[in-house]
Each structure stands twice: as C-alpha cells, then as structure tokens.
Structure 1
Amino acid sequence: MKHTYHIQGMTCNGCRTSVEQKLSEVSGVTNVSVNLEKEEAIIQMQGHIDTATFQKALPEKYTISEKKTEKNVFASTGNGNDEDNIFSKAETEKSKLQQLKPLLIILGYIAIATVLLNYQRENWNSAMLDFMGLFFIVFSFFKILDLKGFPDSFRMYDPLAKIVPAYAWVYPFIETALGLMFLMRFEIPIALIATLIILGITTVGVTKILLDKKSIQCACLGTALKLPMTEATFIENTIMIVMAVVMLTRIL
C-alpha cells in the first residue's frame, strides 16, 4: 500500500532527512521517500496508517497531510497471470539502476583515473592505494557539499554515529585525511587499519538496514545526490575492505 503526503515545514536537506527518519520509524512502514522540492513524502506501508499517527511521529514544526493514493498499474491482478509480476519487477529494477547511475559513473571515473596513473608501471601494487585514495577524496567531497544535512543521513545507519553524534560531523574530514594519506603514501599501515575500522562499522549498519528491508537514503555520496541504500552500497564498502586487507598483508 502506497500513499503520498504533503509535508510543510522542510527548509533544507537536514529537515528532509529528519522527516524521512521519523516516518520510517513508524510501525508498519516499509519504505519512505521524501522530496524536499515537492514537499512530499511517498510512504509504503503494510496496512492502513492514519495521518494522525504520522503527525504524532514528526516534530511540531512539520505538518503532514495526505495528497493522494498511488496504485502500481503493473501489480498482479490476481488472475494467475505472471506477466503482470514480470512487468512490475522490470519496472522496479529499472528504477533502482537509474538511481545507482551516479555511483556507477563515479566508480568508473575513479577506476579509469587509477589505470591512467599506473598503466606505465611494472608493479601495480600501488594501483590499489591510488584507487582507495581517489575513492576517499571524491566521496568526501560530496559529503562536504552539505555538511548540515549529511550527519542526519549518516546517523540513520552508522552504529557509531548513532552513539557519538560528533562522529558524523567529522567523518567527511576523516575520509579526506585517509585519501591524502593513500595518495601521498604517508603512514599507509595506519591508513589501512583506520579504513578497516570505519568501513567495517558502516558495513555493519548497512547490513542491518538491508536485512530489515528498510529503504533509506545512503549518505555515501552525501545528500547532494539521492542514492538508495542497496546491495551496491554493501558491495562498495566490501571492495574497499578487501583492498585494505590485501594491502595490509603485503606491507606487514
């Protein structure tokens, strides 16, 4: 069941993230997507939830009212024809791929830059360090674009950021420091260990979100680009963790 609501009172990405988080915590809600520009929230729920319940979950500065109910024209009609389900699945996968397009393009550019920096070298051991350095620099840049909105998004799934709010504020700068350390080849063992720790913690949170089948915005590209929390986020972190482990075994 999917309903669209009008939200009044949102003024920034931090507001959008806060509203999205509060609505996601309402019992029976399976997915929440908040659009700041349109001032609306699309909520998927297991059963009917009245608007008053959502209003109670939000801070007083926000006002929520139902706009309309959306129906999936591709949903199964119950007549035993699986063709309807195929259309529905194809539409969902297409939407997810479109949402992940920014992430795939950025990772592609980082990979190309790494190849260009290392293609004339006989030893490609440093290629992984270049990739990790560029990865952290680029991803920290997108987080720093909205330092006000990023912490709220990050705290929605990172276990340490939930306990220590200040960690979410300094996290983009930690990534920047790690990126510079990898690119400048400065204290590489320390940078690798730090990478394992911070990405390991984040991966635990990402895994929990995926297992709970909740749909929230991933903060890996900050709030400037709307990226859903999917298996791609888990894979992205896992690749970096594997690289860090491989480089540590070679150095130590």
Structure 2
Amino acid sequence: MSKTAILYRMVTNNHICPFGLRSKDLLQREGYDVDDRPLTSKEQTDEFKAKYKVKTTPQTYINDQRIGGYDELRTHFNKGEAGQSGITYTPVIAIFSIALLLALAFQYVVIGEYFSIRTIMLFIAFSMAMLAVQKLKDLFSFTNSFITYDLLAMKWIPYGYIYPFVEAYVGIAMVAQLPALAVAPFSLFIGMIGAASVIKAVYIDKRELKCACVGGDSNVPLGFVSLSENLFMVAGGLIMLFL
C-alpha cells in the first residue's frame, strides 16, 4: 500500500520556498507519494494560514494529521537538526583538502609527478589564499574575533584588517615563485605572531575561543587548527629561505 502525504508550499513568480522543496524531497526519500499543492500567491498563502490556523509554510499532512514545517517533518522521521550547528571543523577540512588536491594536480601537470618540496609549498600557498578569502568576505566580523586573541591586533587593531591581505599576498606570491626575500619575511612575521598568540590564548591562558581562521562567523574552535595554519606559514617562509 502506497504512503501519501499532502504538502502545501509557497511557489510564486518571486519566491520558491526552499523548505518546501526540502520537505518534498524528504517525503519522497521516505517513500511517500506527495500530493503537492503549491500556494502560488501571497494572498493564497495568507488564506491557507488563516484557514488552517498555522503561522508558516510549508505544511505537511500525513493520514489527515498535520505534521508541520520542515523541522517538524525531520523530527517526525527521527532525523537530526538540519544544517550545521555547534562546533564544526568542516570549513577547515574542506579548505585543506581542496588545497592539497590542487597542489597535487598542479604539480603533476607541471612536472609529471605528484609529490616534492614544491607540492608542500603549493599546499601551503593554496591554503593561505583560500583562508584569506574566507576572512576577506567580512573584514569587520573577522577582526571582531581576531582581536580577542592575536597579540599584535589587540594592541593595534588595524593589523587585523591588514592581516588577510598579507596572507593572500603570501599565498599568491608562493604560487608565482616570487623571490624569497619578497615573500618569506611576511610569511614568517604573521606566522610567528599567530602561533605565539594561539599558544598563549589556548595552551597557557586556557581560554575557549572561536578561531577567526575561516572568518569571524565560524564555529571552529581556536586551538590546533589555528596553530597548524600559523606553523604552515612559518614552514613556508623557512623553506623559501633555506631550500
């Protein structure tokens, strides 16, 4: 016997409700035939809300019982909370993984092999460039987080605004293979200050903070990841100078 659900969702020329689409997809994945009933205007949507005494759409009905919106539907099917919530390392894992794959691909195309010292440099460079983009998306938000633990930014707030541009410059300059003396000092400077700041805030002062490494709105905890980012910069600077 087939299972059927009735779904009311907003679908107008100006707006297609994303949670309506998600509700329909979830119902279909759970094996339901969906009686899809689009609400094609604001007036029709308001009439539906008034008639059924609900405040929002979409609304799902199964066996003549109102389940509710998308969150309630997930609860009905014993699904977890939608989206990311709480502490997560996902942004950092994504950035470092893509940076590594880019480095391997780039190195293979250029010299026909995957791994060398240059691969390490490219990994550092791509990581720095992508992390800089995350910070540059919202400089105010980034600096609001950064100045709470960076030793230099605490004393001179403009450094928080300068930092992402320097990080981006170093990453791009490494890919371009600019002269070591034009790049390494910047990498060493921001890397060493950053490492010292993380060590003091996390491992000495035992403060629980969010890392600004992927932007000010992240839920990545300050600690090993932030320290790794800074040590990569230091390593990159030393490799440029001595190898």
Same fold (TM over 0.5): yes
Residues 1:127 and 2:116 aligned together: no
Q: Aligned residues: percent identity?
A: 25
Give the total of aligned pairs. 155
| Equivalent position of 1:144 in the other structure | 136
Deviation at 1:142, TM superposition (A): 0.4
- Cα gap change, 1:128/1:189 in structure 2, threshold over 3 Å: closer, same or farther? farther
Task: Verify the 8 A CA contact 2:210 2:218 in the aligned structure 1.
Answer: no
CA distance in 1, matches of 2:126, 2:224: 22
Indicate the residue corresponding to 1:190 in structure 2: 182
Letter in 2 for 1:110: A
Corresponding position of 2:151: 159
Taking the aligned partners of 1:136 and 1:239, their CA distance within structure 2 comes to: 9
Task: Give the number of the structure with larger relative contact order, counting CA–CA contacts within 8 Å between residues 6 or more apart.
Answer: 1
1:195, 1:244 within 8 Å by CA — same for their partners in 2?
A: yes
Greater mean deviation of Cα atoms: 134-143 or 225-234: 225-234
Q: 1:240 to 1:222 in 2, by over 3 A?
A: same
Q: Is the 8 A contact 1:181 1:188 kept in 2?
A: no
Q: Does 1:109 align with 2:98?
A: yes
Task: Give the Cα separation in 2 of the matches to 1:192 and 1:160.
Answer: 19
1:168 aligns with 2:168: no
Q: CA deviation at 1:105?
A: 2.0
Please identify the structure whose Cα radius of gyration is greater. 2
Aligned to 2:140, the other structure's residue is in SS state: coil
Query: Any idea what SS the aligned residue of 2:216 has?
Result: coil
Q: Please give the alpha-carbon distance, in whole angstroms, between the structure 1 residues aligned to 2:239 and 2:165.
A: 25
Counterpart position of 2:54: none
2:240 equivalent to 1:242: no
Distance between the aligned counterparts of 1:218 and 1:102, measured in 2?
11
1:137/1:239 Cα in 2 relative to 1: closer, same or farther (>3 Å)? closer
Among 168, 180, 203, which residue is 2:195 paired with? Answer: 203
Cα RMSD for the two superposed structures: 2.1
User: d(CA) in 1 for partners of 2:150 and 2:121?
Assistant: 25
- Quote the residue 2:26 is aligned against: none
Normalised to the residue count of structure 2, the TM-score between the two structures is 0.58
TM-superposed CA distance for 1:204, in Å, is 0.6
Gap change, CA 1:179 and 1:230, over 3 Å in 2: same
Cα distance change on mapping 1:209 and 1:171 into 2, 3 Å: same
Residues 242 and 194 of structure 1: CA distance in aligned 2, closer, same or farther (over 3 Å): same
Instruction: Tell me if structure 2 keeps the 8 A contact 1:145–1:224.
Output: no
What are structure 2's unaligned runs of at least 5 residues?
1-84
